[in-house]
Structure 1
Amino acid sequence: MSNANDRQHGGDHYKDRGIQPWDYVAANNLGFFEGNAIKYLTRWEDKGGIQDLEKAIHFIEKLIETKSPKKDETQPERFGI
């Protein structure tokens, strides 16, 4: 029985890599946003070009958004304090 790394659907842009992006993501217990950013950063020169870099940035921006402290909207704004 073959494993998932023995085949790739939609191209061969990961075949010559030292490690498959999903193996790196799994080995480092990374989340969805990090994993997708790594995927796009890994393949950008071989598949999507600048658009893949923009996609990586988009996932990183969303990660930052989800990890940034939320402003407590129940507290009034304090100026000069």
Structure 2
Amino acid sequence: MTDMVNHPPHYTAGRVECIDAIRAALGEVGFLDYCRGTAIKYLWRAPLKFNTAEDLKKAQWYLTKAIEVASEEPN
């Protein structure tokens, strides 16, 4: 079964996932902001979509990624 939350196939070109390319392009601070903003987007639209749970899981994925990035930053 295809994992449409963690590794949707339409976000991979060859062996490179789009999220990795975005992180490389934006740097760590920009990527953290991107993850936070994208989580907000999914939370905002979740109740308006057919599959609310899937959008909430996507928001959770981006929040988890933001936490990982923030945890890597020196205090």
Q: Answer 1 or 2: higher relative contact order, Cα 8 Å, separation at least 6.
A: 2
TM-score of the two chains, using structure 2 as the length reference: 0.50
TM-score of the two chains, using structure 1 as the length reference: 0.46
